[in-house]
Amino acid sequence: MRDNLRNKFGVFLICLTAVLGVDVSYAGCGQNINEGIQKIIDEERVKYHIPGIEVSISCPGEDSPRDFVSGTTTLNGDVPIRPEHLFQIGSETKSFISAVILQLEAEGRLSIYDPIGNYLKNIPEAWQDVTIQQLLNHTSGIFNYTEVVELWTALMTSDFKMQFSSDELISFVKNKEFNFFPGLGWSYSNTNYILAGMVVQAVTGKSIEEEINTRLLQPLHLSNTYYYAGAYNDDMLQRMAHGYSSIGLFPDEPKDITSQNMSWANAAGAIVSTSHDIAIWLRHLLTDDNLLSANQRQELLSLVDVENGQPLPFESDKVGYGLGVIRFNLPSGEIWGHDGGTFGFISHMSWLKCNDVVITAIVNHVDKSEADGLGSTAITMDLINFIQQADTTKQCQMGLMPSKRSLSKQLQSIRSLDRLVPKRSQ
């Protein structure tokens, strides 16, 4: 899985000039981009058989992201997608968990270098010395619970209605061996963020939902973002775009999975939101000193090599993982962000350093094109390319973008989606 993951993150970036110590003159969004962006998402939605798409573009100096939508809330439906429709964002949730933990560190209530055994007592003895930082940057070596067949058997048996606690989720992997000794490798594991969420609860005595709401959502006025690790109520379902899967556990025909109980995703991926809110979120996460102090942001952006888990210098061209954020280098510059995948939704959030532009995109259909690195990934790449082509200063066009076919080969079987399908029962 490590070999597959090392190239995974081909559509994300963010760079913070305060951390890098560089004075950058940003190229921005260019002129008259709206029509071109709408054309891209309209054409590619049809090409990849996607019911609905939300896209938001946050340009430097603009108070609010620009929102674009295409398609409908349901497969072959007639209710158009609106910017306020909710989508599952999957593993983009991880950046919220990391931000809460970094705020707690700034308050002196924990250190990311603490062993998790200081806070969690009902975990295997072998896990006690794993640090919080190793959870957040995926160097813990702890096995990924979403690759365990027994979890999906339980979900399928209950028609995805089963409610799981955090303890129940980690119980699926308590007897699994480490993928590697903690700190000596890198492997994406959703278990890491279940444990990180448990640390938040242990330190604060409050729920993950409450901490995310009071610390992040309310101060940033993210009124269409919710941590929802359970069954959606009727109001939530009415506000959501329907998500469809025709891959993995549902290979025969698109299955509407919108009403599934999302407790299985928990702190690893249970947030629902809009592309608009996520564009606001990513910009604040990476630039707002009121959200994270300079020290905590430096920790957020401290990278490890996704090939071996070792510290990665900022000047390296290799893919790096921070604390719930990814850095990737394209010929035209760095991109930071993350992707997310659930059974019926795929999301991307990307910050283009050279342009200082945030691009977020969410779709509501997961099929083979997504597993092949196309679909929403190709749409995001086209949007990045378009933004940079629209840059009249030409300062961000430092080389050719990878072809979609090349990107497809790089990203095949390495996205968040693929880690939601059991591969082995060890």
Helix, strand, coil shares, percent, the chain, to 5: 40, 15, 45
Question: Where is pLDDT greater, at 208 or 408?
Answer: 208
Full set of structural domains in the chain with CATH? 2-420 (3.40.710.10)
For position 297, what pLDDT does the model report? 97
Question: What's the rounded mean pLDDT across residues 395-403?
Answer: 57
pLDDT at 127 over 60: yes
For position 388, what pLDDT does the model report? 84
The alpha-carbon radius of gyration of the chain (Å, integer) is 20
Is 340 strand, coil or helix? strand
* Closest to 135 in 3D by CA, of 188, 66, 63, 69: 188
Q: What is the dihedral of CA 288, 291, 297, 303, to 10 degrees?
A: -100
pLDDT tens digit sequence for 48-73: 889 999 999 999 999 999 999 999 99
Question: What's the rounded mean pLDDT across residues 23-42?
Answer: 78
Between the two ends of the chain, the Cα-to-Cα distance in Å is 14
pLDDT at 25 over 60: no
Which residues fall within 8 angstroms of residue 242, CB to CB, at 6 or more apart?
51, 73, 74, 75, 77, 256, 258, 344, 364
Distance CA 66, CA 421 (A): 34
* Closest to 376 in 3D by CA, of 3, 10, 120: 10
Confidence bin at 370 (pLDDT 50/70/90) = low
- Give the pair of three-digit tokens for residue 148: 């365990």
Q: Point out the least confidently predicted range of 170-184, 276-290, 373-387, 407-421.
A: 407-421
Which residues fall within 8 angstroms of residue 326, CB to CB, at 6 or more apart?
8, 9, 12, 319, 320, 336, 337, 338
* Residue 146 DSSP code: G
For position 331, what pLDDT does the model report? 75
pLDDT at 280 over 80: yes
Q: Point out the least confidently predicted range of 147-156, 199-208, 387-396.
A: 387-396
For position 248, what pLDDT does the model report? 60
According to DSSP, the β-strands at 357-363 and 255-256 are unpaired
Question: What's the rounded mean pLDDT across residues 146-175?
Answer: 94
Confidence bin at 416 (pLDDT 50/70/90) = very low
pLDDT tens digit sequence for 332-346: 788 999 999 998 899
Q: How far is CA 415 from CA 8, 9, 196, 412, 419, in A?
A: 6, 8, 21, 8, 7
For position 425, what pLDDT does the model report? 35
* Residue 216 DSSP code: I
What's the mean per-residue pLDDT of the chain? 86
Distance CA 391, CA 412 (A): 30
* Closest to 188 in 3D by CA, of 2, 420, 395: 2
pLDDT tens digit sequence for 203-240: 999 999 999 999 999 999 999 999 999 999 999 999 99
